[in-house]
Amino acid sequence: MPQTLEACAPPLHPMAPRMTPVTRFIRESQDVFTFDLAPEGATPFAPGQFNMLYAFGVGEIPISISGDSQAPERLTHTIRAVGPVSAALGKLQTGDRVGLRGPFGVGWPVEAAKGFDVLLIAGGIGLAPLRPVIYWLLRHRAAYGRVGVLYGARTPDDLIFRSELEEWRRTPDFQLRVAVERAGPEWTGDVGYVTPLLSKLRFDPADTVSMICGPEVMIRATALTLEDAGVADSRIFVSMERNMKCAIGHCGHCQFGPLFICKDGPVHSYDHVRNLLAYREL
Amino acid sequence: MADQIDGAMATLTVEGLEKLLQAIQARGYRAVGPTLENQAIVYDDVESINDLPRGWTDEQDGGRYRLLRRGDDALFGYSVGPQSWKKYLHAPKLRLWTAERHGDDISVAPEPPTGDRLAFIGVRACEMRAIEIQDRVLLGDLYADPHYQALRARALIVAVNCGQAGGVCFCASMQAGPRVTEGFDLALTELLDGGEHVFLVEAGSDEGRALLALTPHRAASDDEIRAAAAVIERTASSMGREMRSDDLNELLTNNLEHPRWDEVATRCLTCANCTLVCPTCFCTSVEDVSDLAGERAERWRRWDSCFTMDFSYIHGGSVRASAKSRYRQWMTHKLATWIDQFGSSGCVGCGRCITWCPVGIDITEEVRAIRGCDASAEEPR
Amino acid sequence: MKDIADLLRHHPFAEGLDEDTLSLIAGCAKNVVLQQGDYLFREGAAADSFYLVRHGAVALETFVPARGPFTFLTVKTGEIVGADWLIPPYRSSFDARAVELTRAIAFDGKCLRGKCEADPRVGYEMMKRFIPPLVKRLQSARMQALGMYDAANA
Q: Scanning every residue of chain C, which has its alpha carbon at the shortest distance from the alpha carbon of A193?
A: C140
Nearest Cα to Cα of residue A65 among A101, A92, A103: A103
* C142 part of a folded domain: yes
* C154 part of a folded domain: no
* B241 part of a folded domain: no
Q: What is the mean pLDDT of residues B322-351?
A: 98
Instruction: Please give the pLDDT value at position B1.
Output: 39
Q: Pick from A104, A135, A169: which residue ends a domain?
A: A104
Residues of A in contact with B183 (CB under 8 A): 2
CATH of the domain at C89: 2.60.120.10
Residues of C in contact with B319 (CB under 8 A): none
Asked if B269 and B370 sit in the same domain, the reply is: yes
Asked if B253 and B324 sit in the same domain, the reply is: yes
Asked if B223 and B151 sit in the same domain, the reply is: yes
Residues of B in contact with A82 (CB under 8 A): 315
Instruction: Please give the pLDDT value at position B380.
Output: 41
Q: Scanning every residue of chain A, which has its alpha carbon at the shortest distance from the alpha carbon of C59?
A: A191
**Per-chain mean pLDDT for chain A:** 93
Task: Name the minimum distance, in Å, from the CA of A221 to any CA of chain C.
Answer: 9
Contact A258, A277 (CB under 8 A): no
* B242 part of a folded domain: no
Structurally, how many domains does chain A consist of? Answer: 2
B324 at the A interface (CB within 8 A)? yes
Structurally, how many domains does chain C consist of? Answer: 1
Asked if B153 and B52 sit in the same domain, the reply is: yes
Count of residues making up chain B: 381
Cβ distance A185 to C100 less than 8 Å, yes or no, reads: no
Q: Pick from A104, A132, A157: which residue ends a domain?
A: A104
Q: Scanning every residue of chain A, which has its alpha carbon at the shortest distance from the alpha carbon of B291?
A: A57
* C153 part of a folded domain: no
pLDDT tier for residue A12 given thresholds of 50, 70 and 90: low
Domain that holds residue C29: 4-146
Q: Scanning every residue of chain B, which has its alpha carbon at the shortest distance from the alpha carbon of A85?
A: B288
* B243 part of a folded domain: no
Task: Name the minimum distance, in Å, from the CA of B262 to any CA of chain A.
Answer: 13
Mutate to test the interface with A, among C36, C74, C149 (most CBs of A within 10 A): C149
Asked if A129 and A76 sit in the same domain, the reply is: no
* C151 part of a folded domain: no
Task: For residue C80, list its beta bridge partners.
Answer: C52
Asked if A126 and A263 sit in the same domain, the reply is: yes
Sorted by sequence, the CB contacts under 8 Å of residue C145 that are 6+ apart come out as none
Please state whether the peptide bond connecting residue A103 to the residue before it is cis, i.e. omega within 30 degrees of 0.
yes
Q: Which ipTM score applies to this complex?
A: 0.92
Asked if B179 and B265 sit in the same domain, the reply is: no
pLDDT in tens, C43-87: 999 999 999 999 999 999 998 888 888 899 999 999 999 999 999
Residues of C in contact with A128 (CB under 8 A): 154
Instruction: Please give the pLDDT value at position B367.
Output: 97
Asked if B92 and B194 sit in the same domain, the reply is: yes
Q: What is the mean pLDDT of residues B175-202?
A: 95
B316 at the C interface (CB within 8 A)? yes
Asked if A231 and A201 sit in the same domain, the reply is: yes
C74 at the A interface (CB within 8 A)? yes
% of residues, chain A, pLDDT over 90: 89
Would the pLDDT of A1 be above 60?
no
Cβ distance C144 to A217 less than 8 Å, yes or no, reads: no
CATH of the domain at A254: 3.40.50.80
* C76 part of a folded domain: yes
Q: What is the DSSP string of chain A?
A: --THHHH----S-TTPPEEEEEEEEEE-SSSEEEEEE--SS-----TT-EEEEEETTTEEEEEEB-S-TT-TTSEEEEEE--SHHHHHHTT--TT-EEEEEEEESB---TTTTTTSEEEEEEEGGGHHHHHHHHHHHHHTGGGSS-EEEEEEESSGGG--SHHHHHHHHHSTT-EEEEEESSB-TT--SEES-SGGGGGGS---GGGEEEEEES-HHHHHHHHHHHHHHT--GGGEEEE-----SSSSS-S-TTEETTEEHHHH-BEEEHHHHHHHHTSTT-
B305/B311 Cα distance (integer angstroms): 7
pLDDT tier for residue C151 given thresholds of 50, 70 and 90: low
* C53 part of a folded domain: yes
Residue C97: half-sphere exposure toward Cβ, Cα within 13 Å:
20
Structurally, how many domains does chain B consist of? Answer: 2
Asked if A97 and A127 sit in the same domain, the reply is: no
Cβ distance A185 to C144 less than 8 Å, yes or no, reads: no
pLDDT in tens, A32-42: 999 999 999 88
Asked if A136 and A61 sit in the same domain, the reply is: no
Asked if A92 and A157 sit in the same domain, the reply is: no
Contact A158, A137 (CB under 8 A): no
pLDDT tier for residue A13 given thresholds of 50, 70 and 90: confident
Domain that holds residue B153: 9-236
Instruction: Please give the pLDDT value at position A99.
Output: 97
pLDDT tier for residue B8 given thresholds of 50, 70 and 90: confident
Asked if B194 and B255 sit in the same domain, the reply is: no
Q: Pick from A75, A104, A133: which residue ends a domain?
A: A104
Asked if A70 and A126 sit in the same domain, the reply is: no
* A110 part of a folded domain: no
pLDDT in tens, A99-119: 999 999 999 999 999 999 999
Task: Name the minimum distance, in Å, from the CA of C73 to any CA of chain A.
Answer: 4
Output DSSP code: residue C46: B
* Residue type present at position C117: E
B7 at the C interface (CB within 8 A)? no
Domain that holds residue A28: 8-104
Q: What is the mean pLDDT of residues B271-299?
A: 96
* C152 part of a folded domain: no
Cβ distance A18 to B108 less than 8 Å, yes or no, reads: yes
Task: Name the minimum distance, in Å, from the CA of C9 to any CA of chain A.
Answer: 20
Asked if B91 and B195 sit in the same domain, the reply is: yes
